[in-house]
Structure 1
């Protein structure tokens, strides 16, 4: 009986993985892709004026794995959105959030290729340009911060799980736990809020428009990307948005999580998850609520 149960469990997991893969279509030519990223996309049928989510996997992952992990593709039809699940294949499959090329708008790094995917989707599937969102976990969260700094005009909102502020790894030899300068992940880069904000602005110099709204989450027991990185993200984006901490709500959105609200809570919120390590699990309902889906 135990063998039968184990076999059935493995079969179920394989079936879920196969379903996730079947929901994705590969797009080999989507525009400027200087670092050779892969674009897989879930496009539900018969969507009118759809929204779009760019979903960024953690180090060691892939787009298809993140599709299975998040379950976004399962809700696309019901909630009216398309999801792009990109893949990085360099530096242990981490996103480049360290090089000058990637930390510059249209600089020729990973961020350029990701922006090309978004632009391709908007044109090809008639996506509502006012309802384009980005989210990610760990390395994907780090790149989420970079994308809303480099392409603030492409995205309306972002959610972020267990990452670092935009530009935190600037000048590091790499972006993975193996190649990166550990100072950033350890939360040991001591900048003022104004300096953190400037690091984000330096990615798109001269931009004077609005930035996307952000909800970012981190765990208190994270020993890989220390929780001080949550404070640094919140310092960076609260300065950019011109908002300050107005409320702290315990047990929100669930028991053990503490919500930090900035301003009226429509531009920036943070969540600190007690006794949660790396990474904070993706909360699809929080994402959908923040995105308005």
Structure 2
């Protein structure tokens, strides 16, 4: 049953379910293939979108694809590249070819800083891009959906010094799949996806701290979106993410704002809303449409 469910989710994510008609999308041919950016322990691929007019010290967004997808496919169903033309930032679209094109968010290698997993290759991509495009290292951001959101949580925990903020969709807390035999629907322990991995904020913070032992600096600002009707990466995972990041960022729940940024969405504000927010989408399943404008606002772009 899991492979069939996996196939159905890939079909949805690979169609217009993620696309938005609000802006034209950059053609796939506009992406540049990068053959070498440094150590690449898990044979990742990288394509980059660079606007024709790149300002000095541009920002960078690492956009991480869903399970069963690729970087170019994610570029085609989101507006980040089109918005880069007007806002002047660089977008990195990596691809993993491992485990049914799902990011490794389960192995010790990937859940450890410099451990030699997918997270290590992604970190080297980001460092290469900062040098290549003379980017502002204080304006490097994360986004992704599903497997890409799980990896966004992992990257923010293992390399918190690389990123200023993250905004991702339909994911789970960093370490939720730790110890699973795989990270795809066909290989993973289903406890995480079913929302059955429940911890206290302090316990989740300890999981993240173990990924980068000894780190005492700030963690990226975090924004996370989840559909209340998600039966694939179940809705309780939103609460677990918010527990983890509330502890790591030192903020507590403050208040809700209903029908924000649109009808049926509830914004959950922590502290003064500058470090952590969550969005709960009523009636929305696993595919929460990307809200690219809201993402850029969160990033300060």
Answer yes or no: same fold by TM over 0.5.
Answer: yes
Query: Aligned to 2:115, which of 95, 107, 113?
Result: 107
Q: What secondary structure, in the 3-state scheme, does the structure 2 residue paired with 1:152 have? A: coil
Unaligned runs of 5+ in 1: 1-12
Distance 1:186 1:231 in 2: 13
Residue 286 of structure 1 corresponds to which residue in structure 2?
294
Residue 6 of structure 2 corresponds to which residue in structure 1?
none
Deviating beyond 4 angstroms after TM superposition, the runs of 4 or more aligned structure 1 residues are 16-19
Residue 144 of structure 2 corresponds to which residue in structure 1?
136
Distance 1:34 1:245 in 2: 39
Residue 33 of structure 2 corresponds to which residue in structure 1?
26
Mapped pair 1:81 → 2:89: yes
Residue 259 of structure 1 corresponds to which residue in structure 2?
267
Distance 1:135 1:88 in 2: 16
The question of whether the paired residues in 2 share the 8 Å contact of 1:23 and 1:73 is answered with: no
Deviations 1:247-270 (A, max 9, x none): 101101110000100001000000
Deviations 1:20-61 (A, max 9, x none): 221100101100110000010001123121100000000010
22-31 or 39-48, larger mean C-alpha shift? 39-48
Deviations 1:147-188 (A, max 9, x none): 000111000000010000000000000001110000011110
The question of whether the paired residues in 2 share the 8 Å contact of 1:20 and 1:64 is answered with: no
Deviation at 1:18, TM superposition (A): 10
Residue 96 of structure 1 corresponds to which residue in structure 2?
104
Q: What secondary structure, in the 3-state scheme, does the structure 2 residue paired with 1:115 have? A: helix
TM-score norm. by structure 1 comes to 0.93
Mapped pair 1:169 → 2:164: no
Quick check: which has more Rg, 1 or 2? 1
Distance 1:19 1:70 in 2: 9
Q: 1:252 to 1:207 in 2, by over 3 A?
A: same
RMSD: 1.5
